[in-house]
Amino acid sequence: MLTEQMILRIPGPTPVPPRVQLAMQQPMIGHRDPETSDLLKQVGPGLQQLFGTTQQVSIVAGSGTSGLEAAVINTVAPGEKVIVCVTGAFGERFVSICKSYEIDVVVLEEQWGEAVNADRLKKSLLEHSDVTAVFLTYCETSTGVLNPIEKLSSVVHKYSDALVIVDAVSCLGGVETKLDDWGLDIVVTGSQKALMLPGGLMFVAFSERARAKMEANPRPRFYLDLLKYDKASKEFSTPFTPATSLLFGLQEVVQLLAEETIEGVYDRHRLMREMTRRGLEAMNLNLLATDAVASPTVTAFTVPTVEAKQVRKALKEQFGIRIAAGQGHQKDTVLRIGHMGYCTATDVLTVLTALEIVLMDLGHTFSPGAGTVAAQQVFLKKGTGVHV
């Protein structure tokens, strides 16, 4: 094996397209120069399409977690009550952020591998009529669950006046998102997942309801004051120093997505999800999420006969392929394959074939070639041959 070759199939960071890498190598420009304003002006419409909004999308130099924290501190005052829906490790992160800011948190937790139950959310809203916000994780990266955000948002608005705040870090750009039509109040994402960039950018858009709550919120904030970013974005600027090289990369990402079309992007992600899931099932592996709630961007599974760390180690050493471990209490039992962003059916077939070899070598029992054949059958029925 070529020791410098690395095939990254984790749920973030994800591979960066060569065109994007090349774009980021452009000479540095002044972040207050007209060239930077032009960059921000050019990427704006593409970001609005991804968020499904006519509102401005602000760009922040920071991680996805900075976006989660910003969503909390801009909208919730000390002592106010919120509901945090937890379906995995990143729902728990929202809980931790809220508690660190002296917020009264009602935790609505589901078993890891399951989606938020709309009836349980309704019950919680009726029991806690004073909640000011509901925090949801669109794709729970730790379990591969895609929560039904449109349905859950409808429940929140029907039974409360709470804001709907969504972590879309590990799926926006790979699944349909409609901030305006679904009544979402804040949506946050990061650059290093389906948006095919290195880590370092956070993107956020919010509704007029959220704006009013932010303006009335007495909580102090400075760097993560979203009203500052919103005001600056309307002038095609940023309140603080942007990550200029990443903006060059973002310009190329927006162009790549436009060339494929957003519908084509979503179709490709759904195809990769089905190929991955059917392939893993054919290898007698256990999927963590059901088909009904499975994310198009990441798949979590367990191997009933082999330690998860052995599988990861063998894939890395024999093939240079990196897949991810589970998180929290599942870190030693769950494996996760990322299939988002700069990823195609070819990549899925590569990982499944290598996984078959590793599992056979480790003594796991299944019909050799079954996983690859199952994935091929999905492609033959649904595939379009799109190669990004």
Domains and CATH numbers, the chain: 7-13+261-382 (3.90.1150.10), 18-259 (3.40.640.10)
- Cis-peptide, bond into residue 13, ω within 30° of zero: yes
Please list the alpha-helical segments (H only) found in the chain: 18-23, 34-51, 64-75, 89-100, 118-127, 149-159, 208-216, 226-233, 244-260, 262-282, 308-319, 345-361, 370-382
Region at 299 (left for phi over 0; alpha for psi -120 to 50; beta for the rest):
beta
322 marked ligand binding residue: no
Which residues lie below 8 Å from residue 216, measured CB to CB, with a gap of 6+? none
- Residue keyed to tokens 């052995």: 310
- The pLDDT tens digits for 96-137 are 999 999 999 999 999 999 999 999 999 999 999 999 999 999
pLDDT confidence band for 387 (50 / 70 / 90): low
**What is the pTM assigned to this prediction?**
0.96
pLDDT confidence band for 382 (50 / 70 / 90): confident
How does DSSP classify residue 11?
S
Other beta carbons less than 10 A from residue 33's beta carbon: 11
Query: Does the pLDDT at position 60 exceed 70?
Result: yes
pLDDT confidence band for 4 (50 / 70 / 90): confident
Give the separation between CA 149 and CA 168, rounded to whole angstroms: 10
pLDDT confidence band for 9 (50 / 70 / 90): very high
Cross-strand pairs, 134: 83, 164
